[in-house]
Amino acid sequence: MTVPSDLARRRLTIRRLAAVAGALTLVAAVLLAGGLLYLWPLFIFPLLLAAVFFFELGSLVVAGALGLFFVAYFALRQPVDAATTRQAIVGLAAFSLAGLVLGRLQRDQRRLHDLLAASSLTDRLTGLYNYGTFVDYLHNEATKAERYGGELTLVMFDLDHFKRFNDRHGHEAGNELLRRVGATLQAIVREADMAARYGGEEFALLISGDAADGLELGERVRRAIEATALELRGGEVAWVTASAGVASYSVGSHDETLLIEHADAALYESKRAGRNRVTVHPDSELPKRLAATLSA
């Protein structure tokens, strides 16, 4: 999965503005050069572009530009009479209405497209990215790390004794717990990083940073999950804990599956050591001062 940057979005907007302005200029030049006012329906092309790119607002701007064009044309070429004024008003009204309809249709189509795209990328229950999207994103980020450098760290989470929780409180309570955990991750993780439901009660956080950053984030998430109280039927309140494993991508390995294996191994160590803790894989280097603090 490739997420467009703010710079890429700005460049796309500039290109779209240039396309609409270019179409407007070209049509106006054709009409003015030949004095061919009867070809004014050619303005439908920039109107369509504006509706597709900028919805209702773009259509109204093009309609306003068309009005200015008519005013300038009549002021320079011929006297304005009542019939000409009526024709111009009717034409502008028709263009404005058509632009609004086209813009609204395009907006609805774009919204439907975004919903369909989101449903294929995210997990329905938690709202996080799904496993397939995570794998694609990890591959892209690992490729960028190999090509341009940078630090990449994976934090794998697993809810402790989740099967026991389901057996005791029911699957609907388990689903609500997963939704709460998803909301917790979305609230904590930075927009530039990625949170995904890896499968079942397991979650993955892929961040830009080293193992120390992963450890810090893992502890924040672990504490937040531990503090999450779930109110059940009958007034009962339930809590759950989570274990996590941290691993950093080794540039030059060209193998993102190794990163998953290391994070999973660190997660297993957290489970073996008593659960409700975060473990960093031995192959992921920590700053010496932090490593000394952890071992003390």
Active site positions, annotated: 201
Q: What H or E segment, with its residue span, contains residue 133?
A: helix 131-148
b/e per residue 87-102 (b: at least 16 CB within 10 A): ebeebeeebbebbbeb
Q: Cα–Cα distance between 185 and 197 in angstroms, integer?
A: 10
For the chain, give the number of residues: 296
Q: Which of 145, 119, 260 lies closest to 202, judged by CA? A: 260
Question: For residue 60, how many other CB atoms are within 10 A of its CB?
Answer: 18
Residue 219 tokens, joined: 């502890």
Q: Cα–Cα distance between 277 and 132 in angstroms, integer?
A: 27
